């Protein structure tokens, strides 16, 4: 059976020849029609449509969007409600929001205005990562264009509804993608995530007011839900995994890129071997990280035992090959990993898996915000131990040591970064234990070097110069 | 026209500054009316709390002067009525903010997995060599002796399908292997 064709809803106009990002082009293609439709609806009805659609957040956690919005009770709440678009896009392997922001910013803005109207939001921010300087400019221009058409500002389209949207730039810290870290950052502080409870954004968010944080793609989906109706949108995909999903593929495939499919209609095998043209250079597959770098790795040739619901409602065991795994939230969760942010990273048979993990561990060590001891110290140790295994300076005892470090982080931290940094280590070790054991055992053991430079090592000193980065390429 | 005058330079030199060669710079910074207008516009985007403007104000200062000096810290703190330490905590947390001058032409090479698989380590090594960078600091940043170039690794730039990716100042370049890196170097130098 050939792979299903892409179903481009969010990406419909992206990369279309002749399509430009200005408002005139957007309007010519039916832009802002859904805003006009939504703004004539009762806010509660918009929320009901989003609930009916079954839309789950596209930022990583897959939380149902309508349920999230429903946490704020307009009858009881007396504070202003804020909405923040999470455009931090920093999960390694994910590069979809960038496309929308750069190529069709008005789709996002229209989705945002509808979402703000539905939740009685008068002030909203787009938190965009610092490394998208043009993205920020493009969004600011688009906001001004929308303002000129009275889609933003006061008395929008004569309805009496007022809304301001501003762009806020991050500055290179991954943890700003975590919604409470993002909120702290937007308040002008370090992006230290807040502990939940009590700091659920829906209760104590931006400026301690109820706040909705949604990913770029999620907010775009809202526009299409209004267009199609929640029930119709909910028919796309599979139950509990509705709509479409943008999947980003990178690494060792012939045709990396971003693709949009009806959720749950494509398997891993179809994605890699048909859509992406197979493994680069005719090599064989070694491993896949299916949902952004935090998602647990899966090994080529793996067969998973899953429970499957039968027609009569009973559950039966079923074996499923990696190639046949369906790419949606529930199917990937069932095989012990996650759909996460939709970033699929592929490694071929020639890759040294210990080096791949060393690369990711370095990422997490760099990005831990440092508030929680298990995460801050654990991430550093995971980096050091994987690095020395990968560069041939390990010893047999390093593998269990590494595992014990990873096992003592998750669940003991303020935010989900703790899980995000330990899952790769735990899963790489579980799936490729043979390779880690062999490489660690063959190592020389830790080599004594001058201490790494610290904040107190002056530039030009010996300690500074001793800090050579070992090469941890793939 | 307003200017920044130093008031507290002599009283404190916090320990994190001891290696900051610019701490005692006597530069008087003239802030143009345009700069001040931009600062006002930034602050107006945060009607609930001026403190939220600290990041964009740091950007504003940095875009104008290349890095944020202690004078910049004090000016920003005064502008939004917070303590200089609250500017410092932000300045020191976010990798894109600079307390020291970096190269006029800044290369940022993505270090993370998809780009590494595509060869970003070779690209970074190549750029460092070509730019004459021999030393890197504790954040992995290297600046050429003439101050023209800086090269550093950064984490995933959200363009993983077209690695190795490199930013040169604000511009993103895709599939930058060593030969493309050479072309880019020729173009920018
Ligand atoms: C460490 C960490 C990093 C995250 N990075 C991002 C990100 O870059 N973009 C994003 O949209 N969500 C990110 N998230 C998820 C957000 O916290 C939040 O769940 C999401 O923005 C909610 O939007 P959604 O419901 O529309 O998915 C991250 C979460 C964690 C724990
Ligand atoms: S888990 Fe890590 S990233 Fe999250 S708050 Fe704690 S130290 Fe910071
Ligand atoms: S890994 Fe380099 S851009 Fe994502």
pLDDT tens track for B122-136 = 999 999 999 999 888
* Bridge partners, B150 (sequence order): B106, B143
Q: Of A190, A343, A471, which has the smallest distance from its Cβ to B93's Cβ?
A: A190
Ligand approaching nearest to the C-alpha of A367: 2
Q: Are residues B88 and B18 in the same domain?
A: yes
Tens-digit pLDDT profile for residues B39-88: 999 999 999 999 999 999 999 999 999 999 999 999 999 999 999 999 99
The answer for A 132-171 residues in CB contact with B (under 8 A) is 132-134, 166, 168-171
User: What does the angle CA A439 – CA A424 – CA B119 come to, to the nearest 5 degrees?
Assistant: 70
pLDDT at A409 > cutoff 60: yes
pLDDT at A77 > cutoff 60: yes
pLDDT given for residue A309 in this prediction: 80
pLDDT given for residue A459 in this prediction: 59
Q: How long is chain A?
A: 474
Q: Residue A282: left (phi > 0), alpha (psi -120 to 50), or beta?
A: left
Does A372 contact ligand 2 (Cβ within 6 A)?
Answer: yes
Neighbours of A350 (CB within 10 A): 11
pLDDT given for residue A458 in this prediction: 55
CB contact under 8 A, A454 and B138: yes
Q: Are residues B59 and B22 in the same domain?
A: yes
Task: Tell how far CA A216 is from the center of its chain.
Answer: 10
pLDDT given for residue B60 in this prediction: 98
CATH label of the domain that carries residue B4 = 1.10.10.1590
- Closest among B110, B89, B177, B100 to B138, alpha carbons compared: B100
Q: Which whole number is the average pLDDT over A369-377?
A: 97
Domain that holds residue B95: 1-100
Tens-digit pLDDT profile for residues A10-62: 999 999 999 999 999 999 999 999 999 999 999 999 999 999 999 999 999 99
pLDDT at B18 > cutoff 70: no
pLDDT given for residue A32 in this prediction: 98
Expressed in angstroms and rounded, the spacing between residue A406 Cα and the centre of ligand 2 is 14
Q: Of B97, B114, B170, which has the smallest distance from its Cβ to A93's Cβ?
A: B114
Q: Are residues B96 and B109 in the same domain?
A: no
Q: Which helix (H) or strand (E) holds A168?
A: strand A164-169
Final residue of a domain: which of B74, B100, B126? B100
pLDDT given for residue B155 in this prediction: 97
CATH label of the domain that carries residue B116 = 3.40.30.10
pLDDT at A468 > cutoff 60: no
User: Angle, nearest 10°, between helix axes A433-441 and A417-431?
Assistant: 80
Does B165 contact ligand 3 (Cβ within 6 A)?
Answer: yes
Q: Are residues B141 and B123 in the same domain?
A: yes
ipTM score assigned to the predicted complex: 0.93
Sign, Cα dihedral of B157, B158, B163, B168: negative
Q: Are residues B68 and B4 in the same domain?
A: yes
Ligand approaching nearest to the C-alpha of A368: 2
| Residues of chain B with C-beta less than 8 angstroms from the C-beta of A248 | 160-161
pLDDT given for residue B139 in this prediction: 81
Q: DSSP state, B130?
A: H
Q: Are residues B7 and B91 in the same domain?
A: yes
Q: Which whole number is the average pLDDT over A102-115?
A: 98
Tens-digit pLDDT profile for residues B103-124: 999 999 999 999 999 999 999 9
pLDDT at A197 > cutoff 70: yes
pLDDT at B142 > cutoff 70: yes
CB contact under 8 A, B111 and A362: yes
- In b/e form, how buried is each residue of A100-118, taking b as 16+ CB within 10 angstroms? bbbbbbbbbbbbbbbbbbb
Residue B1 pLDDT grade (very low, low, confident, very high; cuts 50, 70, 90): very low
CB contact under 8 A, A174 and B154: no
Least confident of A170-179, A340-349, B8-17: B8-17
Q: How many CA atoms lie within 13 A of B10 on its CB side?
A: 2
Final residue of a domain: which of B47, B68, B100? B100
CB-based contact A135:A100 (threshold 8 Å): no
Question: Which residues form the pocket of ligand 1, taking CB atoms under 6 Å from any ligand atom?
Answer: A 57-61, 63, 86, 88-91, 177-179, 213-215, 218, 415-417, 420
Neighbours of A122 (CB within 10 A): 13
- In b/e form, how buried is each residue of B84-103, taking b as 16+ CB within 10 angstroms? bebbbebbebbbbbbbbebb
Write the CA distances from A283 to A261, A325, A474, B6, integer angstroms: 26, 21, 15, 63
Q: Are residues B77 and B130 in the same domain?
A: no
- Closest among B149, B160, B144, B153 to B184, alpha carbons compared: B149
Nearest Cα of chain B lies from the Cα of A318 at a distance, in angstroms, of 33
Question: Looking at chain A, which residue has its C-alpha nearest residue B159?
Answer: A95
Domain count, chain B: 2
Q: Which whole number is the average pLDDT over A77-92?
A: 97
Q: Are residues B109 and B135 in the same domain?
A: yes
Query: How far apart are the two ends of chain A, measured CA to CA in Å?
Result: 33
Domains of chain A, each with CATH number or no CATH: 23-235 (3.40.50.11540), 244-309+316-348 (3.10.20.600), 353-441 (1.20.1440.230)
Residue A463 pLDDT grade (very low, low, confident, very high; cuts 50, 70, 90): low
Query: How far apart are the two ends of chain B, measured CA to CA in Å?
Result: 35
Q: Are residues B146 and B65 in the same domain?
A: no
The residue of B57, B80, B114, B152 whose CB has the most chain A CBs within 10 angstroms, and thus the best one to mutate to test that interface, is B114
pLDDT given for residue B11 in this prediction: 34
Q: Which helix (H) or strand (E) holds A201?
A: helix A201-204
More confident residue, B20 or A66: A66
CA distance A57 to A60: 7
Tens-digit pLDDT profile for residues A416-456: 999 999 999 999 999 999 999 999 999 998 887 765 554 45
Q: How many CA atoms lie within 13 A of B185 on its CB side?
A: 20
pLDDT at A271 > cutoff 70: yes
Tens-digit pLDDT profile for residues B27-41: 467 899 999 999 999
Ligand 1 mutation pick, A64, A90, A179, A196, max ligand atoms within 8 A of CB: A179
Residue B6 pLDDT grade (very low, low, confident, very high; cuts 50, 70, 90): very low
Q: How long is chain B?
A: 189
Residue A308 pLDDT grade (very low, low, confident, very high; cuts 50, 70, 90): confident
Tens-digit pLDDT profile for residues A311-354: 888 888 999 999 999 999 999 999 999 999 999 999 999 999 99
pLDDT given for residue A3 in this prediction: 78
Mean pLDDT for chain A?
Answer: 94
Token code pair at residue A311: 């027609």
Q: Are residues B93 and B4 in the same domain?
A: yes
Q: Are residues B89 and B135 in the same domain?
A: no
Residue A465 pLDDT grade (very low, low, confident, very high; cuts 50, 70, 90): low
Tens-digit pLDDT profile for residues A155-171: 999 999 999 999 999 99
Ligand 3 mutation pick, B159, B161, B176, max ligand atoms within 8 A of CB: B159
Mean pLDDT for chain B?
Answer: 88
Percent of chain A scored above 90 by pLDDT?
Answer: 90
Question: pTM of this prediction?
Answer: 0.93
Q: Are residues B90 and B127 in the same domain?
A: no
pLDDT given for residue A447 in this prediction: 82
């Amino acid at each position: 059976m050939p792979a299903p064709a892409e179903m481009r809803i969010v990406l419909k106009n992206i990369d279309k020849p002749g399509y430009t990002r200005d408002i005139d082009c957007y309007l010519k293609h039916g832009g802002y029609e859904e805003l006009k439709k939504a703004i004539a609806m009762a806010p509660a009805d918009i929320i009901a449509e989003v609930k009916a659609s079954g839309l789950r957040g596209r930022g990583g956690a897959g939380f149902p969007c309508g349920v999230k919005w429903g946490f704020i009770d307009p009858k009881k709440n007396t504070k202003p409600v804020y909405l923040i678009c999470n455009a931090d896009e920093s999960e390694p392997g994910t590069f979809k929001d960038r496309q929308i922001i750069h190529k069709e910013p008005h789709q996002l803005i229209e989705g945002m205005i509808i979402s703000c109207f539905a939740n009685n939001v008068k002030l909203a921010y787009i938190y965009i990562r610092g490394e998208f300087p043009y993205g920020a400019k493009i969004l600011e221009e688009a906001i001004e264009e929308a303002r000129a058409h009275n889609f933003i500002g006061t008395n929008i389209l004569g309805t009496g509804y007022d809304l301001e949207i501003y762009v806020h730039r991050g500055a290179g810290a991954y943890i700003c993608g975590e919604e409470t870290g993002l909120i702290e950052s937007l308040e002008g502080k370090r992006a230290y995530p807040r502990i939940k409870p009590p700091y659920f954004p829906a209760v104590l968010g931006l400026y301690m007011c109820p706040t909705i944080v949604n990913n770029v793609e999620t907010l775009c989906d809202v526009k299409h839900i209004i267009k199609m109706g929640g029930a119709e949108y909910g028919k796309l995909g599979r139950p509990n995994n509705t709509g479409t999903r943008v999947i980003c593929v990178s690494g060792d495939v012939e045709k990396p890129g971003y693709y949009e499919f009806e959720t749950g209609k494509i398997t891993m095998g179809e994605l890699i071997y048909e859509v992406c043209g197979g493994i680069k250079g005719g090599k064989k597959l070694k491993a896949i990280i299916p949902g952004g770098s935090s998602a647990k790795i899966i090994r080529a040739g793996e067969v998973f035992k899953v429970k499957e619901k039968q027609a009569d409602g009973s559950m039966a065991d079923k074996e499923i090959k990696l190639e046949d795994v369906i790419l949606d939230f529930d199917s990937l969760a069932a095989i012990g990993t996650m759909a996460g942010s939709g970033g699929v990273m592929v490694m071929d048979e020639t890759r040294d898996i210990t080096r791949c993990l060393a690369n990711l561990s370095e990422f997490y060590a760099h990005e831990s915000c440092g508030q929680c001891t298990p995460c801050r110290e654990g991430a550093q140790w995971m980096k050091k131990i994987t690095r020395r295994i990968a560069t041939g300076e390990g010893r047999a005892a390093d593998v269990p040591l590494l595992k014990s470090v990873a096992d003592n982080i998750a669940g003991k931290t303020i935010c989900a970064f703790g899980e995000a940094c330990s899952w790769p280590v735990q899963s790489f070790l579980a799936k490729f234990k043979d390779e880690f054991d062999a490489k660690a055992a063959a190592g020389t053991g830790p080599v004594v070097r001058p201490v790494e430079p610290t904040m107190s090592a002056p530039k030009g000193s010996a300690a500074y110069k001793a800090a050579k980065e070992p090469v941890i390429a793939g | 026209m307003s200017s920044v005058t130093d008031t507290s330079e002599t009283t404190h030199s916090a320990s994190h500054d001891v290696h900051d060669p610019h701490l005692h710079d006597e530069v008087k910074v003239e802030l143009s009316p345009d700069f001040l207008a931009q600062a006002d516009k930034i602050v107006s985007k945060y009607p609930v709390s001026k403190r939220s403007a600290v990041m964009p104000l740091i950007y504003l200062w940095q875009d104008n002067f290349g890095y944020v000096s202690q004078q910049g810290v004090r000016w920003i703190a005064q502008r939004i009525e917070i303590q200089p330490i609250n500017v410092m905590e932000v300045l020191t947390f976010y990798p894109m903010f600079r307390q020291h001058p970096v190269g006029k032409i800044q290369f940022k090479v993505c270090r993370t997995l998809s780009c590494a698989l595509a060869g970003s380590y070779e690209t970074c090594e190549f750029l460092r060599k070509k730019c004459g960078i021999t030393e890197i600091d504790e954040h992995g940043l290297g600046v050429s002796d003439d101050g023209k170039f800086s090269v550093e690794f950064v984490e995933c730039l959200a363009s993983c399908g077209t690695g190795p990716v490199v930013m040169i100042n604000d511009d993103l370049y895709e599939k930058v292997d060593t030969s493309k890196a050479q072309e880019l170097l020729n173009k920018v130098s």
